[in-house]
Chains A and B, each alone.
Chain A
Amino acid sequence: METGMAEDFISFRMTNKMNCFKCFHSKVEDFGATHGLSMKIIFHLTLCLDEMITNIISYGYADFDEHPIDVTLVLKDGVLIIRIEDDSEPFNILEAPEPEFDVPLEERKRAIGGMGIHLVKNMVDDINYKREDGKNVLLLTKKICEECCSRG
């Protein structure tokens, strides 16, 4: 391993029956504080998790059972990786329709349809999705500038 390479991660499992935001908010804030992430980066991270997990919980399941949702946050060499794995219905964020920006607000069929996904797409630098063994595996990658992160 090269010297000066800082890598750290946290992993946690939540379920679709838990309060989405309250479950991960303190974990994300602690992770951000440990690595000296800026308020803005912590906000982006929280928003991405909130929007994606809310989406999974709201639309992902055909039954009423409890399902695990596994989250991993990795910070390596100034790059933040968010990994979300769930066994909900297949959902490829890359194929999700964009909000109807060209339609005036009053005439949009869905007042805010797709806006959460649109926000996520704009908060990260790279998105990778795969369906594997009956699971959605989403990787969101975000480059973090030097000033935003005191520990590389």
Chain B
Amino acid sequence: MAMIESKENGITILAVDGNLDAEGTQAMEVKVLALLEGGETQLLFDFSSLDYINSSGLRVLVLAYQRLKKASGKVAICGVKDYIQEVFEVSGYDKIFSLFPSRGDAISGM
């Protein structure tokens, strides 16, 4: 798993590549908590190169959503592969997160 952080139009983008297994999820959680502590309120997860996520990974996204909702912030996700999209649908989280096809769509739509 690799994470690349960038910023565009005031939106903090976290591109997560590879597998969000237990180890990767823990690293992402540490990163997300640090971003939230640092006062970021607009978070975009770019999952276009993400191959794997489980319920623990979803939990980190929910954590970000819950924290940012209190701060009138936003969490969005872009570029998910179709089989990962299914996980969002089955969990009902597709109704909570804004899911965008691409990074560009997300930045203009957030």
Residue from the list A22, A101, A111 in contact with B66, Cβ < 8 A:
A111
Nearest residue in A to B59 (C-beta to C-beta)? Answer: A112
Residue from the list A43, A47, A105 in contact with B62, Cβ < 8 A:
A105
* A interface residues, how many (CB within 8 angstroms): 26
Asked if B62 and A112 sit within 8 Å, CB to CB, the answer is: yes
Query: What is the interface of chain B mostly: helix, strand, loop, or mixed?
Result: helix
Query: In the complex, A101 Cα to B89 Cα: how many Å?
Result: 12
Residues 36-88 of B contacting A (Cβ, < 8 Å): 52, 54-56, 58-59, 62-63, 65-66, 69, 81-84, 86-87
Residues of chain B within 8 A (CB-CB) of A3 are none
Asked if B22 and A54 sit within 8 Å, CB to CB, the answer is: yes
Asked if A43 and B83 sit within 8 Å, CB to CB, the answer is: yes
Asked if B82 and A112 sit within 8 Å, CB to CB, the answer is: no
Also in contact, A47 and B54, with CB within 8 A (given A25-B21, A106-B69, A118-B91): yes
Residue from the list A50, A101, A116 in contact with B21, Cβ < 8 A:
A50
Query: Chain A 91-116 against B: per-residue CB contact (8 Å), 1 yes, 0 no?
Result: 00000000101000110000110011
Question: Any chain B CB within 8 A of the CB of A119?
Answer: yes
* B interface residues, how many (CB within 8 angstroms): 25
Residues of chain B within 8 A (CB-CB) of A112 are 55, 58-59, 62
Asked if A122 and B90 sit within 8 Å, CB to CB, the answer is: yes
Question: Any chain A CB within 8 A of the CB of B8?
Answer: no
Nearest residue in B to A101 (C-beta to C-beta)? Answer: B92
Asked if B58 and A115 sit within 8 Å, CB to CB, the answer is: yes
Query: Chain A 18-49 against B: per-residue CB contact (8 Å), 1 yes, 0 no?
Result: 01111001000000000000011001101100
In the A-B complex, list the 9 residue pairs whose CB atoms are closest, starting with the nearest: A21-B21, A116-B55, A40-B83, A112-B59, A115-B55, A122-B90, A43-B83, A50-B54, A111-B62
A-B contact pairs, 25 of them (CB 8 A): A19-B23, A21-B23, A25-B21, A39-B83, A40-B82, A40-B83, A40-B86, A43-B52, A43-B84, A44-B83, A46-B52, A47-B87, A105-B62, A105-B66, A106-B66, A106-B69, A111-B59, A111-B62, A111-B63, A111-B66, A115-B55, A116-B55, A116-B56, A118-B90, A119-B91
